[in-house]
Structure 1
Amino acid sequence: MYQYSEFDKQFVRNRAAQYRDQLERNLAGTLSDDEFRPLRLQNGWYLQRYAPMARISVPYGELSSEQLRVLGTIARDYDKPDAALLAEAQEKQTALGTVPVPGTNRQVGSELKYGYGHFTTRTNVQFNWIPLVKSAEVMELLASVNMHGIQTSGNAIRNITADHLAGIAVDEVADPRPFVEIIRQWAALHPEFVFLPRKFKIAVNGAQEDRAALGWYDIGLQLLRNEAGELGFRVQVGGGMGRTPIIGTVVGQFVPWQQILNYIEACVRVYNQYGRRDNIWKARIKILVKSEGQAYIDKVEEEFRQIVELDGAPHTITQAEYDRIAAQFAPPVLQRQPRDAAAQQVHQIIRADAEADPGYDRWLQRNVLPHRNPELRAVVLSFKRLGQHPGDCTADQFDAAAQLAERFSAGEARVTHEQNLLLPWVHQDDLPELWAAARKLGLARPNIGLITDMIACPGGDFCSLANARSLPIAEAITERFQDLDEEWDIGEIDINFSGCINSCGHHHAGHIGILGVDKDGKEWYQITLGGGDGSRAGGPASPGKIVGPSFAKEEVAGVIEALIDTYRQLRQPAANGRLETFIATLRRVGHEPFKAAANAARFVEKEVA
């Protein structure tokens, strides 16, 4: 993983010190809340429904075991409300009436416990209960392990994302991480792009399969080689979700890798000049690209020409600079100590126990991925189980993940787009021990890509923008499909859940998407079918289609069950000898049978607690 330079470390420490000064002036009354707001947002501090929310930047999802332990410390020691904050939250909860104060199960009447982090779809980590007066302490603690909240908020270029298998994928054209890091360093605090018309997100994919969901990003960069074998990027611009889901337009078919920063600058500069600032709902670059079409592309090409010919292409990436950054991503040296006789005997017992357990074989199929090094595997730790909401990670689980990373994965883990953790450097001979250790921790459920491996935002339990709660509905669906045999029979399916139209749960890209909406002050849920994220399992990047009117909260779990039953009745054998997936059946037969089943499931469910 990336090795931080002394400059990187000092930069982050200075930023933490600067933030402490800003916070202290705000608390002393010499810096107003309005003046402080853009400063805290630039460091990832939001004010949410009940308490501040801290969004921590995790570039390309990579976390060291040391960083995981610090995140565990933050969850344990800081992610808890003081008496004043708790009283204020309870007062707000009473006034709202419909959204309870979050706790262990985030339900009314449950014991209030805190100490959670939350993995996001953009591989960041969020905390929801850190008092603002403690925020500077958290910033300094993060800085001690080279972490921060820069590029997690505001109308600027945000944290750059990549495929979670970057650098280890068997289908990789080139490792995207050096380019992501170069773009990140260029974009961080870029003076021209600090106040864009709206937030701006970039993703980079280096593999043949698009596991980075490029079509849904403001700029999606796909590494590829031309007929001459030269490396470059296909550039998509103007993707996005929200109120107007749009798949990005290919603007550059092949941009040489040396020129990619200059080309991105042209794309963003045209947006900065012509993007709307009069209407927040029409301020994203997707609206500009859609409205201007070829005119936007022509402006980008002209701006790029001027950057290259008149300005001298100031951001051209040299081979020396690429080599310098790429060297920071050298694979770890994996030194395996030979087992003595006693250790070998224990290893054989664990292996025999694992191979005799049907759950181990299922785990190998769902949670263990191939690696470009044939001796290694990539292993996904599942954070999706009954009693734990999608993406949540407790303080103890942060610590446990750090231990697993150190023991089995050269001290590295990665946050995935699906809100799990991946161990990228596992020796295949260690798989039985890892399975046994992860199962003991409750992190080995073989459900990756299956129905309980849902994506969900925190929704109305935390977010002040949310129209409805997502977590209790996700819990109800998870409870419905606890039979692992049934879950495996259903097969691969993406269920994505957003609590509001901002689409943090990427509901548009779900095979089944669930969106919380507000109807007369009550929580309702809109269902979409047929979305895709661009991966092989997800299908082509495309927004789902709405299934009729919205559903009451007590109906949603039953509607999902009806959709699954319909699929199981209609599916056919596929070319590979297996049964069709949900998305394949849906695209073959169309939406009507599913729409009819969903509407027939109305009004038959008991109220979700």
Structure 2
Amino acid sequence: MYVYDDIDQTLVNERVAEFRDQVQRRLSGELTEDEFKPLRLMNGVYLQLHAYMFRVAIPYGTLSSAQLRKLAHVARKYDRGYGHFTTRQNIQFNWIALKDLPDALADLAEVGIHAMQTSGNCTRNVTADQWGGVVPDEVEDPRVWAEILRQHTALHPEFSFLPRKFKFAITAADHDRAAIKVHDIGLRLVKNDAGETGFEVMVGGGLGRSPFIAKTIKPFVPGRDILSYVEAILRVYNQYGRRDNIYKARIKILVHELGIEKFAAEVEQTWQEIAEGPLTLDDQMIEEIRSRFVYPAYEKLTDDPAELRAAAADAKFEAWRKNSVAPHRQPGYAIVTLSLKPVGGPPGDATAEQMDAIADLADTYSFGEIRVGHEQNLALPHVAQRDLPALWKALDAIGVATPNVNLVSDIIACPGLDYCSLANARSIPIAQELTRRFANHETANLIGRLHVNISGCINACGHHHVGHIGILGVEKNDQEVYQITIGGRADEHAKLGELIGPAVPYAQVADVVEDIVEAYLALRERPEELFVDTVKRLGVEPFKERVYATR
């Protein structure tokens, strides 16, 4: 956990006071909605279909138990008793009254939580691998560097009014759990031949109306130079990015139109002008940030303890353990993923009662720490293997032990037309129906790793472009219809999915997904061949034939 200092707390408190004054002026009529809009966006407040939506930042997906309890408090006191975890490691509250927003923000500030830069044309919440600092295969903890970026970009005057919103993601492991290739800047921690730590820098990724996979702009930037290099990228974007057309304002469009070579040359030239300046990070500065991360006092334990072997006789426990428990870098410990995708439930939602209970379990079993993943699930990152049987029973009792992580019912979905004023179609009911269709865990395990992503509009908050099966809701002749893509992925082999054919009506979406899955089971060469690999081998045609044969 990163421990915030007095400077951080002062900044958060001052922002609360400033926003309280702005809200009072809006309520009194001194500010019109148009005048209030840019002010509320700076504090994570959107005007949705039914109410203001409040988006709270969870930097690099790390929460303390005290912070999670405070989120539960906000859900209970100011909202309707739940929150929605997003693909950006944020949490959203959909029903808070405008008059209550300053108080909610003040309550969150007590534990160092804020909503700065969760919206608006600025650098957004910096995201990272939710298993950072505990996974065995990483170069080092990426959250240290995410915090360095957070501090540098928070309320940065040059980057608070960019042509469009701007997103960072960082990973340090072989397997990319942070989806860095679909971000404006994706950073992968690497070691060069001399053993130095640095970054492969990728630029120009993003989804939405014009989806692109990020391209590597520089294979290695030393860690000490990462701030100056990132600043050079942002300066080039700030200078050349389109401000006359919102649909062409993202850096991905600039990279595409200039070409990666020309864009890289512009960045390199700008970087050379600032590379040896005050943005250079010396070892002492890096270690100062690193020292603020408090790591658990692990016990000396061994893997596969007696408690775990004894519990293996319980088939339900074993199904959960195999699905939701991952290796830890510390012997005798494990990483536990909590599924927020129950059968028939909205993906990514957690009630205040669940959040309180998870905070208590984090204190008991995970040194008071919780992680949020971009897949809209939570994780306890420091669980002793001997405690897994007891933890499983407690998680099952509050409904977050569904053994469907990375399986077909572990669906990523935006709120869609049920909440969002930008949406054209519903997302949540489709996700709920699919979890019912694939509720049988034996069937889901037979299918294997398969990611279904759903977006209710072209803005792609559900990351449908990179779903193994992607579902995009659009409006046609006042009807909700859905485009289906297959073969996308968001990991280190990131790829955009391919459209299989004409859009289908709302009532047919779940049937189409079943048809695609049945086709995959018939077409795969062996049980170990993943869905995305079958699509890569055969293309979309066999699936298209199956889906449209009777439609």
TM-score for both structures, normalised by structure 1:
0.88
Matched residue SS, 1:30: coil
Deviation of 1:599 after TM superposition, in Å, equals 1.5
The 2-side partners of 1:301 and 1:321 are apart by: 24
* 1:585 and 2:549 are equivalent in the alignment: no
Alignment partner of 1:249 out of 210, 215, 227: 215
Compare CA radii of gyration and give the structure with the larger one.
1
Tell me, yes or no, if the aligned pair for 1:510 and 1:530 is still in contact at 8 Å: yes
* 1:161 and 2:133 are equivalent in the alignment: no
Deviation of 1:318 after TM superposition, in Å, equals 1.4
Over residues 157-177 of structure 1, what are the superposed CA-to-partner deviations in whole Å (9 max), with x where a residue is unaligned? 000000011011111012111
The within-5 A match list for 1:164-563 is: 164-293=130-259, 294-308=261-275, 312-334=276-298, 354-535=311-492, 540-563=493-516
Over residues 230-264 of structure 1, what are the superposed CA-to-partner deviations in whole Å (9 max), with x where a residue is unaligned? 11111111001011111112111111110100000
The 2-side partners of 1:2 and 1:250 are apart by: 30
Over residues 313-348 of structure 1, what are the superposed CA-to-partner deviations in whole Å (9 max), with x where a residue is unaligned? 2211111111111012231224699xxxxxxxxx99
Tell me, yes or no, if the aligned pair for 2:300 and 2:331 is still in contact at 8 Å: no
The 1-side partners of 2:529 and 2:214 are apart by: 28
Tell me, yes or no, if the aligned pair for 2:45 and 2:54 is still in contact at 8 Å: yes
Tell me, yes or no, if the aligned pair for 2:467 and 2:490 is still in contact at 8 Å: yes
Deviation of 1:280 after TM superposition, in Å, equals 0.6
Tell me, yes or no, if the aligned pair for 2:308 and 2:386 is still in contact at 8 Å: no
Deviation of 1:580 after TM superposition, in Å, equals 1.2
Matched residue SS, 2:292: helix
The 2-side partners of 1:523 and 1:133 are apart by: 34
Over residues 459-492 of structure 1, what are the superposed CA-to-partner deviations in whole Å (9 max), with x where a residue is unaligned? 0000000010000111111111111111111111
Percentage of identical aligned residues: 51
Deviation of 1:600 after TM superposition, in Å, equals 2.8
The 2-side partners of 1:256 and 1:484 are apart by: 46
Tell me, yes or no, if the aligned pair for 2:122 and 2:162 is still in contact at 8 Å: yes
The 2-side partners of 1:454 and 1:302 are apart by: 43
Deviation of 1:601 after TM superposition, in Å, equals 5.2
TM-score for both structures, normalised by structure 2:
0.97
Matching residue's letter, 1:366: N
Matched residue SS, 1:329: coil
Matched residue SS, 1:23: helix
Tell me, yes or no, if the aligned pair for 1:204 and 1:221 is still in contact at 8 Å: yes
Partner of 1:86: none
Matching residue's letter, 2:519: T
Matching residue's letter, 1:331: Y
Tell me, yes or no, if the aligned pair for 1:559 and 1:601 is still in contact at 8 Å: no
The 2-side partners of 1:169 and 1:352 are apart by: 23
Partner of 2:544: 595
Deviation of 1:207 after TM superposition, in Å, equals 1.2
Matching residue's letter, 1:374: P
The 2-side partners of 1:235 and 1:172 are apart by: 17
The within-5 A match list for 1:66-77 is: 66-77=66-77
Tell me, yes or no, if the aligned pair for 2:325 and 2:334 is still in contact at 8 Å: yes
Matched residue SS, 1:359: helix
Tell me, yes or no, if the aligned pair for 1:456 and 1:470 is still in contact at 8 Å: yes
The 2-side partners of 1:403 and 1:434 are apart by: 11
Aligned length: 547
Structure 1 stretches lacking a partner, 5+ long: 80-113, 338-346, 603-609
Tell me, yes or no, if the aligned pair for 2:56 and 2:91 is still in contact at 8 Å: yes
Matching residue's letter, 1:78: Y
39-48 vs 23-32, which moves further: 23-32
The 2-side partners of 1:362 and 1:122 are apart by: 29
Matched residue SS, 1:117: strand
Over residues 506-528 of structure 1, what are the superposed CA-to-partner deviations in whole Å (9 max), with x where a residue is unaligned? 00010100001010121111000
Partner of 1:342: none
Deviation of 1:543 after TM superposition, in Å, equals 0.6
Matching residue's letter, 2:474: V
Matching residue's letter, 2:2: Y
Matched residue SS, 2:465: helix
Partner of 1:135: 101
Matching residue's letter, 2:296: P
Deviation of 1:352 after TM superposition, in Å, equals 8.0
The 1-side partners of 2:444 and 2:173 are apart by: 29
Over the aligned positions, Cα root-mean-square deviation in angstroms equals 1.6
462-471 vs 289-298, which moves further: 289-298
581-590 vs 504-513, which moves further: 581-590
The 1-side partners of 2:525 and 2:47 are apart by: 49
Deviation of 1:14 after TM superposition, in Å, equals 1.3
